[in-house]
Copies of this chain bind each other. A is one copy, B any other.
Amino acid sequence: MLNVVIMAGGSGERFWPKSREKSPKQLLSIGSKNTMLQETVKRAEALTSPKNIFIVTRIGLEGEIQKQVSYIPKENIINEPFARNTAAAIGLANIIIQKRDKDSITVVLPADHIIKDIRQFKKTIAAASKATKEGRLVTIGIKPSYPETGYGYIHRGDEIGSGSPSIFKVKEFREKPDLKTARKYFKKGGYYWNSGMFVWTTKRIEEAFKEYMPKLHNALKVIENSLSSPLRDKVIKEEYEKLEKISIDRGVMERAENVSVVEGLFDWNDVGSWLALEKVYKKDDDGNIVAGDHVGIDTKNCILMGEGSPITTIGVSDLIVVNTGDVVLVCKKTEAQKVKELLKQIKKNKKLTLTLS
């Protein structure tokens, strides 16, 4: 059986102020009339049936998620009591799936990616699934289209087999590089963006947790024993609280043997910042991307996102302007990554924090 775990607990801070604590990026419509979660579930349905689709999220979002994808069984929506990064989230989903299906292949998909070519996506997952039968932990790599510094990179090793898409051994995972290094990777080739999509068997990932993250493994065992008990939520909370915040990449993938990468041949956009909209929306004749009402004079190459109320501009270029009604963001395009930093500053201001995060 193939199960899909959709990771939908993220906060999408770099997409603030449209993305908020209670309505993060994955629950918003970006580049589609559906929300990013709805689109992700649609992709998952191309792989398996709704009863085999699991959504891991954080407490507080489950109501909105059930509303958005009401045909996913309620019991498949897994609430994390605390944010403990991807290793814990994947571990928790894994024991819940294992309880039902000891011999599952699991596909892990972030809920906030835009992928339009479902045919190539299916083909990639099929190749990865096949590779899991040899006990491989498979990650999906995206061929860089420019030297991005905001992603981790995967340095591929030898090709395994000769299918399409190609599968390679992973030589090394690389942290987010500086621009010079990113340019080197880009020029040299053989490096992929680490997309955060994974394929493995429940058994294999459990073994990996046991070997490389024994504390997490122990906690998961305790939780596993409580899954049918009325104390389930209490136990999850107790165990979670103690866990380290660590990603699956750091906790498992970088340490494990037998890690492979499949080249994802589909289009891919993780909407990692406001700038990502340039690849999702069409520009007008002045190079502007406009959502909502806009009236401008001498306005060029801007991203203008009004919600309800209009944005007006005079003599500006290369700006991101977002109006969500309760706050306005005006940001130089090249500084879009600093939205996270801005949010930190807002959080320091008690008065603003209440309404803006």
Contact = CB atoms under 8 A, between A and B. Distances in A.
A328 B341 CA distance: 23
A244 interface: no
A334 B297 CA distance: 13
Contacts of A342: 295-297, 312, 314
Given A319-B316, A323-B323, A356-B310, A298 B329 contact: no
B310 A331 contact: no
Nearest to A312: B329
Interface in A294-321: 295-298, 306, 309-316, 319, 321
B328 A297 contact: no
A327 interface: yes
Contacts of A349: 295
A256 interface: no
A328 B321 contact: yes
Copies of this chain, count: 2
A335 interface: yes
30 contacts: A293-B352, A295-B342, A295-B345, A295-B349, A297-B342, A298-B335, A309-B327, A310-B327, A310-B328, A310-B352, A310-B356, A311-B328, A311-B330, A312-B327, A312-B329, A312-B330, A313-B330, A313-B331, A314-B329, A314-B331, A314-B332, A314-B336, A314-B338, A314-B339, A314-B342, A316-B331, A321-B328, A321-B330, A323-B323, A323-B328
